[in-house]
Copies of this chain bind each other. A is one copy, B any other.
Amino acid sequence: MNAKEYITANSDRFYRELFSLLRIPSISDKPSHKGDMLACAKRWAELLLEAGVDKAEIMPTSANPVVFASKTVNDNAPTVLVYGHYDVMPVEPLELWKSDPFEPEIRDGRIWARGADDDKGQSFIQVKGFEAALKSGLLQCNVKFLLEGGEEIGSPGLEDFCRENKDLLKSDVILVSDTSMVAKETPSITTGLRGLAYWEIEVTGPNRDLHSGIFGGAVANPINILCKMIADITDKDGRITIPHFYDDVEEVSTIEREMLAEVPHSDEAYAEAIGVKSLFGEKGYTTLERTAIRPTFDVCGIWGGYTAEGSKTVLPSKATAKVSSRLVPHQQHEKISKLFIDYIERIAPDYVKVKVTPMHGGESYVCPIDLPAYKAAEKAYTKAFEKKPLAVRRGGSIPIIASFEKILGTKTVLMGFGLESNAIHSPNENHQIEVFEKGIEAVIEFYREFGK
């Protein structure tokens, strides 16, 4: 039985197994889901054993536990470490989901559920690719699996776990399926990821909500002040105004910018797909550059004062925003985080109290395209998708990838099989079955190529 036949013969079981993972609401961001995290780790350990690993265990970290599994085929063969994560994003706003986020279903050739892509679905592609390669006698590498439970909240505890388990995690390359391709018809491999810094800004004015008639005009309104501070962080050209913010930003070469320009893209189609009349971003850069090689500043959430129905007049006591920056190569998230905090505290007027709390952060990552594992992945995609994949930098962040390089000294190849239409982090997350099966095929091919 060849690999493709193996997939077809076993697909019903594959979906049953995947659904059993998707049903577990392993939302790392919410402490109330602690029990679901362990349940999900246990289910992964069972599935890895069924897939054929020699051993699978749940190992503690200072945060959620990790699942570690390994299969040794030959002590002299190269070793691949597959990294993924079993935690998922929150599902709000729930009313926008067409079906229950934690009751997966197949409609229109897609699997619909929170985690269908990010990252239960994509990690599952890796595990089933491994299983199929093993059962078809194609596996010429030793394989290790590391699945963590905190990627969506900055992988707490995982750096320490890596430092304490360097030998256990030793490998020749790390494979990660947690990124997207340009399109189903335009396969691509992500060669760069942005870093991330995230803060909460709390502005406190008066010690209680005040009557806006009696006090209005004489007391600074913390929402007005917060809006002014946020407004000042970007200028009309879409540039971030924080002094020294761009100091370390990598100036991407003309060659690389030209390569990026080759990616099929239409601003009109892009704008239409997300329902906006026109796009806005940093002056002097294309859409693909803005999302891949340039840093950003986005407000992720804001709240303050009266937010219920009706028209209560109030001069509120407090206003809060969650804000984040995507970072590019050479920008260190800790340095940027400090720059930001210093800046906000410096511009904060003395008629309000301003508190900036750094949340999670991570560095950016670049994968060289002459890496043997990259070349193997390129061939694998070419076989599975019948087209040579483009090498493109993407805008998302997987902070732990940079940490793997720093701590374990190992490069990562980002064998992602997502699509923009998969709506990760959004309502109605999904995964196309066609891509799912081609992904498994690509993983099998990777093992065949890399084992040579």
Give the docked Cα–Cα distance between A58 and B395 (Å).
Answer: 64
Q: Indicate whether A14 reaches chain B with its CB closer than 8 angstroms.
A: no
Within 8 A of B (CB), among A213-260: 213-221, 223-224, 226-228, 230-232, 234, 238
Are A311 and B319 touching (Cβ within 8 A)? no
Q: Convert A144-160 into 0s and 1s, putting 1 for each residue whose CB lies closer than 8 angstroms to a CB of B.
A: 00000000111000000
Are B234 and A231 touching (Cβ within 8 A)? no
Interface size on A, residues (CB 8 A): 103
Are B208 and A29 touching (Cβ within 8 A)? no
Q: Indicate whether A210 reaches chain B with its CB closer than 8 angstroms.
A: yes
Q: Indicate whether A191 reaches chain B with its CB closer than 8 angstroms.
A: no
Are A279 and B351 touching (Cβ within 8 A)? yes
Copies in the complex: 2
Are B351 and A208 touching (Cβ within 8 A)? no
Give the docked Cα–Cα distance between A217 and B279 (Å).
Answer: 10
Q: Indicate whether A379 reaches chain B with its CB closer than 8 angstroms.
A: no
Give the docked Cα–Cα distance between A270 and B206 (Å).
Answer: 11
Are B280 and A219 touching (Cβ within 8 A)? yes
Are B302 and A209 touching (Cβ within 8 A)? no
In the complex, what residue of chain B is closest to A358 when comparing beta carbons?
A: B311
Q: Indicate whether A275 reaches chain B with its CB closer than 8 angstroms.
A: yes
User: Within 8 Å CB of A297, what residues of B?
Assistant: 224
Are B425 and A209 touching (Cβ within 8 A)? yes
Are B326 and A212 touching (Cβ within 8 A)? yes
Q: Indicate whether A449 reaches chain B with its CB closer than 8 angstroms.
A: no
Give the docked Cα–Cα distance between A154 and B425 (Å).
Answer: 41
Give the docked Cα–Cα distance between A211 and B424 (Å).
Answer: 7
Instruction: Given A217-B326, A303-B303, output 8 extra A-B contacts at Cβ < 8 Å.
Output: A196-B213, A213-B396, A223-B321, A300-B306, A300-B312, A302-B303, A302-B307, A307-B320
Name A residues whose Cβ lies closer than 8 Å to a Cβ of B: 29-31, 89-90, 92-93, 96, 152-154, 180, 194, 196, 198, 200, 205-221, 223-224, 226-228, 230-232, 234, 238, 270, 274-282, 287, 290-291, 294-316, 319-322, 324, 326, 349-353, 359-360, 394-397, 420, 423-428
6 tightest A-B CB contacts, nearest first: A207-B275, A213-B396, A231-B231, A301-B305, A29-B310, A223-B299
| 30 A–B contacts from the bound complex (CB under 8 Å) | A90-B306, A90-B312, A92-B306, A180-B214, A208-B274, A208-B427, A208-B428, A211-B424, A212-B326, A213-B395, A215-B274, A216-B291, A216-B326, A217-B294, A217-B395, A218-B280, A219-B276, A220-B280, A224-B231, A224-B299, A276-B352, A280-B351, A299-B304, A299-B305, A300-B305, A302-B305, A303-B304, A310-B359, A312-B425, A314-B425
